[in-house]
Structure formats: C-alpha cells, structure tokens
Structure 1
Amino acid sequence: MDNRTNLDDYLAGLGISDADESALPPPAPDAAPVSAPLPSTEEDPRVVLERFLHELIARIDPSLKVQVRDTEDALEAEISGENAGRLAGRDGRTLGAIEVIAYAVLAKHAGRGDLRVRVDVGGFRKRQADTLTKLAERLAIQVAKSGEAHELQPMPPAERRVIHIALKENPDVMSESVGEGAARRLIIRPRHG
C-alpha cells in the first residue's frame, strides 16, 4: 500500500489536492518567515511538533498561538487565538488532517512513529469530548433501564475512546468496540454481574 496515495486520498476526501496549493494565500506580510525545512536527524519530538505547527499556522493566521506539552501517552498541542476554531473544519476534518500530517512529520524528522499526537484548536476537541461524555451517560441510563444493548454509528478511535473512558467505572453498563477499520463502532451493553 503506497503511503503517498493514502495521504493523497485522505486530503482529497477533505477537498484538498495538489492543485489547491496554488490557491493558498501568500503568508501575511507581518507573518514570521518560514524557516528552512526540518532536518531529517532525530530531534526532540516536542520541539519538532511545535516548530511544524508554528510554521503551519504562520501561513494561515499569524495571530494564532501554539502550546505543546508532553503527556504520559501523547504529545498534545493546543492552537489558540481569536479565529482558532475555524481551523477545526467541518466535523473536525481539517483538524484530523493536521494531526495526520503532524504524526508523519514526527515519524520522519524525530524518528518517533510510536508517539500519539493530539491537536486541539480553540477547544474543539474538549467540547467534542464533553458532548460524547454526556451522550455516553444518557445511553448508559437507557441501556441500564431497558436491559438491551445500544449500538452507535461507526466513529473514529479517539471518539470511541472518550465513550469507553466515560463508561469505564459505570456499574450498570460496559462498552466494547466491534467491526474493522472505518466501520468500527461501539456497543454499550448491560453489565451482568
């Protein structure tokens, strides 16, 4: 399977193609100049991610800020500023593309394909996680009352993870992921004790 084809397909699914490069606006006149390409030697992953995101947002909106922190299981970046929320794109698709590219940059330039990358813009992921947690709680009550399992629509791994975590300690229900690839979905079942 060709990684370039997969990335091209992913970007095309987001409505972005090689032809769109000419449609990109030039960097803002007061934008910081883009530095030389990232070196291909292994570097601190946090520094690589921070530099990549700074250079990316400098071309989009120089007023945006980036903060990267290292957690126990991932590198987490927060892009903030007045118009940061617009970077999420429709249903978080642009944000997802930024994460995929950031992961590829880390794998190539920091030699770390084992690190997870989570990027949030303007609190989009936090609001999404809060909404999914509330959904999980409502469905847990419904499943506990009815005694019947509830199957959700296919969703990305990060969204399933939020629901799994929300229901982990629930004494009445349990959650499990079933299916493969893009069709992987979550089922909430009564906990039999």
Structure 2
Amino acid sequence: MNNSIIAEGKTTAEAIENGLKELKVSKDKVNVKVLENTEKRSFFSILAPRIVKVELTLKENRQAPIMEIQPEQIEQAKQNIITFLNDFSKKFEDLNYNIEIKENNIVLELMGKDANRLIGYRGETLNALQTIITIISNKELTGKVRVILDIAGYREKRKKVLEDLADKVSKTVLKTGRTITLEPMPAYERKIIHSRLQNNDKVKTFSKGEEPYRKIVISKNK
C-alpha cells in the first residue's frame, strides 16, 4: 500500500472520503493536504467542472518496542489463569478447561454443559471473557502474554459462518452492482471477511466507522 495518494472529488469532503476508501483506513489514520480547490470559483470559471484535489498521507505508526516474553513469564501467566479458572468453575455445575502454551501464546478452551452459556450473542460474552482473562494472566508481568480463548469450538464455527457470508454477499454485489455494508464486527471477524475476499479481484472490501461500531463495506471493483 502506498503511504500517500492524491484523490479528487466535487467537494473537499468527497475528495477525502474517496481517498479514505482507496487507502481503506479511517480519517484519524491520515494527514490531509488540499492541493487544488475550486470550491470557491470566479465568475469566469462557473461553467468549469467543480473539482477538489487532496493528498492523503498515512500517519506513522510509532509503536512501542515489543518486549520479549520470557518462558517463566508465560508460565506465570498460565498459573494466574489456572488459579482464576479453578475458582470461576466452582460457580457452574459442569465447566472444564484445557490450557496449553503454543508459540508463546496461551491457548485456552472451556468445555462442558455450562460452557455454551459463556459464548453470548455472536461471541460477545466470549470476547469479553477473553479480555478479562488476558488482564488477569498478565497481572504483575513486565511483558504481555496473548491469551486465545475458545468455547466448545465456537471460533472455528463462527469463522465458517463469516466465510460463507462473505461469499454470499460478494455474489449479491456482483449480481446487483450494489455496495453492501455489513453490521459492526470486532477486528478479528472483519479480518476473516477481508482475508476471504482478498483474492477476488471482482470485489473490494474496506472498513469504515469507529470501534466498536466499525463495519465492512463490500463493493464491485470497477
């Protein structure tokens, strides 16, 4: 992806919006410079087409240096989770768990008859619980250990649903020519949609809006 592009529109706002669509980012991720603005035109140019040119440049993503996680920290994070889950599971009649360390990540799966109650509508409760467990696991650690939580294989099932949705919507877009906006999704679900359609050169996808209401837009590639 280019770090800078020039976009056009009938107004400054339209030119910026066109540029954001091309870059597939939100406005807070770019610096905007107006290059040519004919919104204020003279009497002699009144018949000329209205056009505004803007330059959009991606802001530098200055991330803090990633601190390498030591094996003993990962093990401590795992023990923090086990302590929490041993107490948490007492609140349910049938809730078990399996916890492993894979590629410096902690992979946790909840199982049992009561596990499905913790998924929530489209995984909302599951995602919230993953956030809570991540915070607990990293208590008093200098680095950050990533926790991946699943419940009764939900994530894989949800991935299949989203991939089928991407296929179905892309076919509708190509058949009707309409641009379709999906409902808000968390980042990891949007990534599944983008990945599913990235090799389909007949359609394009981009995200719009702010979290937690950010949505995917699927349109025909002109």
Note if 1:87 corresponds to 2:114.
no
Q: Which moved more, 1:140-149 or 1:67-76?
A: 67-76
Match of 2:130 among 91, 95, 99: 99
The within-5 A match list for 1:150-165 is: 150-165=180-195
- What is the TM-score with the length of structure 1 in the denominator? 0.64
Percent identity between the two aligned chains = 27
Q: Can you give the 5+ residue segments of structure 1 that lack an aligned partner in the other structure?
A: 1-40
Q: Deviations over 1:19-43 (max 9, x none)?
A: xxxxxxxxxxxxxxxxxxxxxx945
More strand by share: 2
- Aligned-partner Cα distance in 2 for 1:143–1:112: 44
Other structure's SS at 1:108 match: coil
Give the distance between the partners of 1:167 and 1:72, measured in 2 at CA: 28
Q: Which has the higher helix share?
A: 1
Structure 1 residues 74 and 191: CA distance shift in structure 2, 3 A? farther
Structure 2 distance, partners of 1:45, 1:174, is 44
Which of 102-111 and 172-181 deviates more?
102-111
Match of 1:127 among 157, 163, 174: 157
Match of 2:139 among 92, 97, 108: 108
Gap change, CA 1:75 and 1:182, over 3 Å in 2:
same
Range 168-177 or range 52-61, more displaced: 52-61
**Larger C-alpha radius of gyration, 1 or 2?**
2
**Which residue identity lines up with residue 126 of structure 1 in the other structure?**
E
- SS of the equivalent of 1:44 reads helix
Corresponding letter in the other structure for 2:133: A
Q: How many residues align?
A: 151
Query: 1:164 and 1:73 mapped to 2: Cα distance?
Result: 26
1:45-90, CA deviations, whole angstroms, 9 ceiling, x for partnerless residues? Answer: 6624641563254223364322234455954321112332122134
